[in-house]
Amino acid sequence: MSLMTGEEYIESIRKIKMEIYMFGEKIENPVDHPILRPSLNSVRMTYDLAQDSQYAELMTTKSPFTGNTINRFTHIHQSTEDLKNKVKMQRLCGQKTASCFQRCVGMDAFNAEYSTTFEIDKKYGTKYHENFKKFMMYCQENDLTVDGAMTDPKGDRSKAPHAQEDPDLYLRVVERRPDGIIVRGAKAHQTGIINSHEVIVMPTISMGPDDKDYAVSFAVPTDTEGLLMIIGRQSCDTRKLEESELDVGNSEFGGVEALVIFEDVFVPNERIFMDGETEFAGVLVERFAGYHRQSYGGCKVGVGDVLIGAAAVIAEYNGAEKASAVKDKLIEMTHLNETLYCCGIACSTEGKATESGAYLIDLLLANVCKQNITRFPYEIVRLAEDIAGGLMVTAPSEKDFRDPKLGAYIDKYFKGVSGVSTENRFRILRLIENLALGSAAVGYRTESMHGAGSPQAQRIMIARQGKLAFKKKLAKEIAHVTE
């Protein structure tokens, strides 16, 4: 099958009968729902860009397994050039949507699974790698969007999975049958799950021998029996129900997350990638987290580009673009954003081949990348809000603006510089509000903190990979210390 067009992708999702709930009701038609459709449009962009000759080299590549042209979001990285192109592609998608475009997590799960299953098979003689390769090539050939599900609810964080009061707080195998396994549990904060054809499930932490039932990884279609999704709330989400394009800020694109319930879901043997190999749970988590922390050096930078642009535009509309303080703030925003991009490119450039032949980023630098992501976007947002001014959060609604009586007052008193309409000034302010405080903040500001693991998770990895003993040895040699 050739690459899907954006419209073909939309129609392919329409055919999938997922069990989706929001605001206490079952959503029968998520594709056309005004709250959910912008998130689908964001994924569609990854298909549209792949069809555009201007971006085809970045968005597509040749599969080393089939020789066919595939979307890069389904690719297994074969070189450091692949790793860098991934980051560049993610920045482009962020620039085009100013939101989360949702396919990164599946791509990162693909690459973590590929090398980890290879090493499990090498040790145990299992067939997980063969299973995964068949699944991966099926997704490549059909140009599918795949979600990656790692985060368990976790319950009492001081207790291991098997020690939880409720054993379902980490997803687990509850029955093993000759033809497959039955799993039960949930995965939280699942970005883009309702816009995906398939979902790859992975363990969420390192595990010991007593956690054997929880060391499980597999893939199932998103309409699998027993799978249901509860949509999470986002700030300003119901503005999308008000038929106000202006008030939404970014009316075309957005993100979506869900709590995904696995209520005794059957997984056939050929879709299982790990089942009880507890010592490899941590390996899979570490690699997936590394790839995903690299991703933030692309996607968040692209969204940051849009926010910096919006801040520069509103400075002009306010008549403040020549002020030295405003110029300095825009320089600082750019400096921070490009520093994040440097980290994404650096961990890619320093990547190395795994035993499987697939390339893994430099894990230390990937964690440094994400550690910076937990900080810099917050400062970029603060500076954007500073430049925008208070009208960003006090502007009247579009209904007031369109009102025959009230609109004239609003247009008169909220006019900025000559030659710029009050409506255009409002549009840019609402975009900044959307990125800083609204539904897009989930995919930019707040996700920068908690996506791909909390800040402490990166600090643990930085401590583990920081080669402190080696650096102490360097210092002692320079100082001629003998012990």
Selecting among 139, 299, 343, 347, the annotated active-site residue is: 299
Tokens matching residue 399: 């209904």
Catalytic residue status for 104 = yes
191 is in an annotated binding site: yes
Spatial separation of the C-alpha atoms in residues 227 and 263, rounded to whole Å:
6
Spatial separation of the C-alpha atoms in residues 359 and 108, rounded to whole Å:
12
Selecting among 113, 257, 286, 385, the annotated active-site residue is: 257
Contact 17, 30 (CB under 8 A): no
Selecting among 93, 100, 347, 369, the annotated active-site residue is: 100
Spatial separation of the C-alpha atoms in residues 437 and 446, rounded to whole Å:
9
- One-letter amino acid of 146: V
Catalytic residue status for 93 = no
Contact 351, 274 (CB under 8 A): no
Selecting among 170, 291, 296, 359, the annotated active-site residue is: 296
DSSP code for 362: -
Selecting among 292, 359, 433, 444, the annotated active-site residue is: 292
- Name the E strands within 23-111: 25-26, 60-62, 69-71
Residue 60 φ then ψ, to 5°: -130, 165
Catalytic residue status for 447 = yes
Q: Which residues pair with 259 in a beta bridge?
A: 230
- Name the E strands within 135-277: 146-149, 172-177, 180-187, 198-201, 216-221, 227-231, 258-268, 272-275
107 CA to centre of own chain: 10
Contact 294, 83 (CB under 8 A): yes
Selecting among 47, 61, 97, 104, the annotated active-site residue is: 104
Catalytic residue status for 413 = no
Catalytic residue status for 342 = no
Selecting among 60, 145, 191, 374, the annotated active-site residue is: 191
Catalytic residue status for 369 = no
Residues that constitute the known binding site? 191
- Write out the binding residues for FAD: 191
Show which residues are catalytic.
Answer: 100, 104, 191, 257, 292, 296, 299, 447
